Amino acid sequence: MFGAQAQQGGHNPNKDVQVATPLGDSVSSLAFSPRANLLVATCWDNNVYCWDIQPNGTANPKASTTHTQPVLCSAWNADGTGVFTGGCDKMVKLWNLATNQSQQVAAHDAPVRHCAFIPELNMLVTGGWDKTLRYWDLRQPQPAFTYTLSERLYALDVKHPLLVAATADRQLFVFNLQPSFKLHASAWLARPLLCAAEPAAAIQDGGQPTQVADARGGWPRG
């Protein structure tokens, strides 16, 4: 979307532009910095890319880092100085953009599908294909809390104090993060999720009903 003008003559009502930097494979996640005009993308080519987005939409390459296997998820820390990235190497790293150095901060027993930072708790939550959600106090090497899901995680979203997770067996889990990591509600979706790799889960502003896209493209009521 950013970097080079879209193809001339094409339908482009929003005047979108494309990133000029060629990527080696499909993009698996995108995340904008909470503090600056920086965009991060994780990719199936084992790399993580960061661009500095200019007012005219131009995307200037800023930095990149790598994992040993495809990278599936990304999330910025609260002050925008670093990015959490996780993937098929079963680990989550914190990438410091100032030093361009990465360090491992979390791990799973199978690929890590999603991660999210929770500023209100100063904690990282990760979910993987080992059927677990893990909450991390980054000062400690082991997770502060682990919840075993019914199947592999495929979607995750957080709007404090709620967290929603969707799994491969059509289960939807909603957790109340305060005062403890408590399962708030769960449901089974009658229809398959939008797609196996990227079902959509979202918590509305204010922590109101959770929505998940189904195979028909509709949004069942929360």
Q: Is the peptide bond before 209 cis (omega within 30 degrees of 0)?
A: no
Q: What is the pLDDT of residue 162?
A: 93
Q: What is the pLDDT of residue 200?
A: 42
Contact between residue 164 and residue 157 where contact means Cβ atoms under 8 Å apart? yes
Q: What is the pLDDT of residue 183?
A: 80
HSE-CB at 107 with a 13 A cutoff on CA atoms is 7
Could you tell me which residues are beta bridge partners of residue 133?
Answer: 127, 147
Q: What is the pLDDT of residue 161?
A: 92
Give residue 165's Cα distance to chain centre. Answer: 12
* pLDDT exceeds 70 at position 17: yes
Neighbours of 40 (CB within 10 A): 25
Q: Looking at 40-54, 76-90, 168-182, which range is the least confident one?
A: 168-182
* pLDDT exceeds 70 at position 221: no
Pairing of strands 132-136, 145-148: antiparallel
Domain with CATH 2.130.10.10 in the chain: 24-148
CATH 2.60.40.1180 fits 24-148, yes or no: no
Percent of the chain with pLDDT over 70: 80
* pLDDT exceeds 60 at position 117: yes
> pLDDT-derived band of residue 190, with 50, 70 and 90 as boundaries?
low
